[in-house]
Structure 1
């Protein structure tokens, strides 16, 4: 089979968003955990790691008896708006994993080609930004990514 429970849960949530052609779903953590026969913390993990801002999702969580998780798939009017949102999200530093998520989001939204994506990923690799201090690496990665996103905004 090859799919771990996190992949299965992620695909299930994404399929609801896709099948119902809606940008927003509300799910109960406990019901989802019961459905997949897992602990609620597994659901939290999937939501925290797979439904992030850089991947195009906003997550609101209400705890307690009637608690729910609201997941919204962010849709942008155009690629310029998407680039602006990602630039704001990056801030002063970004780690390699989050940087990769930003590039994959651009690919998913059709803002860049696969070739451009591969070039962007190569430019933000840990081995390419070979500095001894991770904080410096993350700052340079953020600056490089923001520069690339800014140039994409004005792509002709």
Structure 2
């Protein structure tokens, strides 16, 4: 496991469980104990690696009987997925979330590698080159929504 950090290891462990079952329900403290890390590390992995953009739905309940439930999202077809992505983007999106979204499109074979790379180039911080972070994220959202709408209508 050389070269892998604890977040990668925790992610791999949870994905291994999800490969056997469509849903996993965990206790944050138990997983933290298993990997000898702080519970906030588990939160970090779930928040950054198990997002709707990557095809996961996360629900949690706090308190004594609390849990974190992770489900693999199954959308009916590409159009449903594209509609969901458009809703998730909203008015603005940061570069990290845009990358996750494009990765999901590629993983689900909605777009090819070349298209993915072109989208990432068009939405990169360097290409947008604006000093105002909110403006950059709004521009990125508009570009991605335009692309997703094009993909949506192209497939009808």
Shift of 1:140: 0.8
Deviations 1:81-116 (A, max 9, x none): 110000000000111111111100101111111111
Give distance in 2, aligned partners of 1:129 and 1:8: 34
- TM-score of the two chains, using structure 1 as the length reference: 0.94
Computed over aligned residues only, the root mean square deviation of the Cα atoms, in angstroms, reads 1.1
Which has the higher mean CA deviation after the structures are superposed, 27-36 or 4-13?
27-36
Q: 1:70 is paired with a residue of what secondary structure?
A: strand
What is the aligned partner in structure 1 of residue 57 from structure 2? 58
What is the aligned partner in structure 1 of residue 17 from structure 2? 16
Q: Runs of at least 4 residues of structure 1 off by over 2 A?
A: none
What is the aligned partner in structure 2 of residue 35 from structure 1? 34
What is the aligned partner in structure 1 of residue 77 from structure 2? 78
- TM-score of the two chains, using structure 2 as the length reference: 0.94
Q: 2:71 is paired with a residue of what secondary structure?
A: strand
What is the aligned partner in structure 2 of residue 90 from structure 1? 89
- Does 2:71 match 1:69? no
Give distance in 1, aligned partners of 2:3 and 2:41: 18
Shift of 1:34: 1.4
Q: Which runs of 5+ in 2 are unaligned?
A: none
Give distance in 1, aligned partners of 2:136 and 2:44: 27
Q: 1:33 is paired with a residue of what secondary structure?
A: helix
Q: 2:127 is paired with a residue of what secondary structure?
A: coil
Give distance in 2, aligned partners of 1:131 and 1:33: 40
Shift of 1:132: 2.2
